[in-house]
Amino acid sequence: MSIVAIGCNHRSTPLAVLECLTVAPEDLPKALSDLGSAEHLSEVVVLSTCNRIEIYAYAERFHGGYQDIREFLSRHSGLPPEAFADHLYALHDAEAARHLFSVAAGLDSVVVGEHEILGQVRSAWEQAGTAGTVGGALGQLFRHAIETGKRARTETSIGRGIASVSQAAVALVTDTLDGLSGRSVLVLGAGEMAEGTIRALASAGVSDVFVANRTWDNAVELAAACGGTAIPLDGLNEALASVDLLATTTGAQTLILESGDFDGLMNRRGGRPLVIVDIAVPRDVDPKVADLDGITLLDMDDIGAFVDHAMASRVREVGDVKAIVADEVERYRSNTSAREVAPLIAALRRQADQISERERERFAAQLATLDADQQAMVEALVQGVVNKLLHEPTVRLKDAAGHARGDRLAESLRDLFDL
């Protein structure tokens, strides 16, 4: 059995492909159910965010698990495997742990050190628990990943300054509009990303916030929380005629705004330019909107490029965080190996006891002719031989637990004794 991590992210995959592969929150229970019933997967956690889709599994065989996951991604996205297979990364055991720990620590995010990803890792684990697709193996892995993420943010400055995609988006549009003080903004969406965006906008000094969402009650609740105004979706055109900025953050699987929805908008705005920042994956706004006069459309690719130039100070913390991740991976491997050694040794002992018992039964007639002292002597002899034969392998296995040599010894023991 192996822990495998198979997926793709903003670094490995074009946005147009990544947005097809991501799993929407409302589709997650079905995705977990489908993967949990796959032939080679016994535990599954799906981590799907605006920057990544990763599937962690406890697989009977690595290649079988990879095939099951690739087929799921194809069914889910409607893409043939060859459309995305070259973008997938596939990791197992210690390297899978190293990757997840790096993700939780914020090293693999668009915004290095972002704080949102840690909550997303925890949520992915909890939702898998609710679906019944996570057990001891992945439970231990994700618990340790969350500990690693917390340690990275406590012991280094990796999470200071711009610490989320929404903060980076607001910083980018602040530069684009030469400041947000006194500006009006329409936020499309009412989830966690929308909340984070509105908080960042408030800090930047926007004057008026309008919130639109397909669920009216959610729009009203978020607008009330931020002192803004909720508007219905059918009021988008009217709102777009007056605001300075549109920020889209929904989890919709199809475009919310097509290029045609902006026909005549510049006339209604009196020629005033409009900035749109689309931080949704899949995208909310048709990319063709970027070609329209008077409209500046920014998406996750633009945010990533902006962050690369703005994160010099935080990058200095990366080395320290990588050292923490390496330390935690070694601790995780040690703990995992130590836990695996105990049942392996117990299985070896049980097998030796079963062999001894079968041999006693085979020679029962001969042993019956011996008196009690002689029978006790034979029993002590058999038990002594078994104990001495098992002593050295047991000691060596315990001493090597948690290291690569221990993993090799354990695997050899399983093969040699068919455990």
Residues marked as catalytic:
50
- CA 288 – CA 276 distance, rounded (Å): 13
Smallest Cα–Cα separation from 164: which of 214, 222, 117, 234? 117
Terminal Cα distance for the chain, rounded: 13
Tokens of 341: 């050694």
Find how far residue 90's CA is from the centre of its chain. 14
Q: For residues 163-187, b (16+ Cβ closer than 10 Å) or e, as one string?
A: bbbbbbbbbbbbebbeebeebebbb
Tell me the two tokens of residue 42: 């016994």
DSSP 90: E
Q: Are 84 and 53 in contact (CB under 8 A)?
A: no
Rounded Cα distance between 75 and 194, Å, is 30
Report how far apart, in Å, the C-alpha atoms of 196 and of each of 202, 210, 274 are.
Answer: 10, 15, 21
**Residue among 72, 106, 151 at smallest CA distance from 314:** 106
Neighbours of 155 (CB within 10 A): 13
Could you tell me where the DSSP H helices lie in 132-285? Answer: 136-155, 165-176, 192-204, 216-226, 236-240, 265-268
**Residue 282 preceded by cis peptide, ω within 30:** yes
Both tokens of 205, joined, read: 């000094």
